[in-house]
A = this chain, B = another copy of it.
Amino acid sequence: MEDFTALLKKHNLKVTPQRLKIITMLHAHGHINIEDLFSEIREEFPNVSLATIYKNIHQMTESGLVREVKIPSLKSVYEVAKEPHLHMVCDKCHKVEDIVLDTDKIIEEAEKVSGYKIEESFITLRGICPECRHK
């Protein structure tokens, strides 16, 4: 169990019940879109405003606590920032999973080919997850 209160403080964000709920949800789901986040939070906070969700997600993204993940043909999802990783998206069940892989080789190769100094990579792979494949 993580200490989300400390995490919010570390990012200079006031600790509010709504914020704790948002970050708890992000962590529990791994990845969640705005719409689903709003629906779920409204179960516990019936008066929460969609603007609160948007404002918080924006602040948390700005502060580096949260990351937006843009996925082809799906709505953006959000995740609590952690070590660099790739995203796997299942074409059947549409779940999004993280995997950690060494990307040094391909980054190095890309720098060589492009002449860019690469700061960050965003890698999403789509296909069929093991569960859907074996159904």
Contacts and interface: CB of A to CB of B under 8 A. Distances in A.
Contact of A117 (B99, B113, B133): B133
Contacts of A90: 116
Interface residues of A, number: 39
A110 B99 contact: yes
Give the number of times this chain occurs in the complex, counting copies.
2
Interface in A109-135: 109-111, 113-130, 133
A123 B7 CA distance: 30
A124 B107 CA distance: 11
7 contacts: A70-B70, A86-B110, A90-B116, A99-B114, A106-B123, A111-B127, A115-B129
